């Protein structure tokens, strides 16, 4: 099926490691022109080389701290200048440090909120102006099933991701009249398969710092599908929602891609 993403200008934040890397490569494979926002210059070059090798879509890297509005404005301007506009924004940047809430500090709360939520606000605010002018667009934000189920050691992160769910529903209602669709993808535990899929700055650079191999096995066994999520699983869902050709009448939705961890009726 032709998703009609060929030549579309798509901005992917956090687009060089794990889920973000898979989103970038999957969209580029559909012929999209991807502007990657990240802070990992070394990993970004590796991803750009993969895009060039595949010889499908195009990609550029713009080093961006999404918590800083002026850097986000420069990011969107670069996408407009190079690729003629912004058709799709993927709010993918995310970070957490797993610990029980009683162990956390206000400094950690602020960091989690700024990276996971303020970054989404900055990017969404900045991209809406060109999307409204052009009369179409799609925004896909990566949340988490921790926002729907609650998850030990992810209290602040899960709360922030729940805020993203509500925020995106409101943005969908406010901007549907301009032809702008807004949806959310909620991954469960999503594990890179190879070391080269993550950079040194990624929270997945040391998987054992997050979960032991025994814990990974237990997580997989607890899921209806009996397997862990992989980055490509999330990338496929994002690509579907980015496409007006197949998802053009879908907006304001929250899609869990977690092997059945969350089943919301």
Active site residues: 157
Residue 244 structure tokens: 């007006």
d(CA 67, CA 119): 5
Crossing angle, helix 41-54 and helix 18-29, to 10 degrees?
30
> How far apart are alpha carbons 149 and 53 in whole angstroms?
40
Assign 223 to helix, strand or coil. Answer: coil
What backbone torsions phi and psi does residue 60 show, to the nearest 5 degrees? -135, 155
- Centre a 10 Å sphere on the Cβ of residue 156 and count the other Cβ atoms it contains: 19
d(CA 75, CA 166): 25
What is the rounded distance in angstroms from the CA atom of residue 60 to the CA atom of residue 95?
23
Query: φ, ψ for residue 19 (rounded to 5)?
Result: -60, -45
Within 13 Å and on the Cβ side, how many CA atoms surround 81? 8
């Amino acid at each position: 099926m032709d998703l009609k993403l060929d030549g579309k200008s798509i901005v992917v934040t956090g687009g060089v490691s794990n889920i973000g890397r898979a989103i970038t490569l999957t969209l580029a494979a559909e012929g999209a022109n991807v502007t990657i926002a990240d802070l990992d210059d070394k990993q970004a070059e590796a991803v750009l080389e993969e895009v060039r090798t595949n010889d499908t879509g195009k990609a550029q890297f713009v080093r961006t701290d999404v918590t800083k509005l002026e850097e986000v404005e420069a990011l969107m301007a670069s996408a407009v200048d190079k690729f003629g506009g912004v058709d799709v924004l993927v709010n993918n940047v995310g970070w957490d440090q797993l610990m029980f809430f009683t162990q956390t500090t206000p400094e950690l709360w602020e960091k989690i909120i700024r990276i996971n939520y303020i970054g989404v606000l900055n990017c969404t605010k900045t991209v809406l102006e060109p999307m409204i002018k052009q009369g179409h667009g799609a925004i896909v934000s990566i949340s988490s099933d921790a926002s729907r189920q609650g998850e030990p050691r992810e209290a602040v992160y899960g709360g922030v991701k729940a805020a993203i769910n509500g925020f995106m529903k409101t943005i969908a209602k406010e901007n549907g009249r301009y032809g702008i669709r807004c949806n959310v993808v909620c991954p469960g535990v999503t594990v890179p398969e190879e070391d080269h899929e993550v950079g040194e700055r990624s929270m997945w650079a040391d998987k054992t710092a997050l979960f032991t191999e025994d814990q990974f096995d237990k997580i997989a066994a607890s899921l209806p599908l009996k397997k862990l999520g992989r980055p490509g699983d999330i990338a496929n869902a994002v690509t579907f929602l980015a496409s007006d050709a197949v998802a053009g009448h879908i907006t304001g939705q929250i899609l869990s891609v977690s092997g059945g961890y969350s089943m919301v009726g």
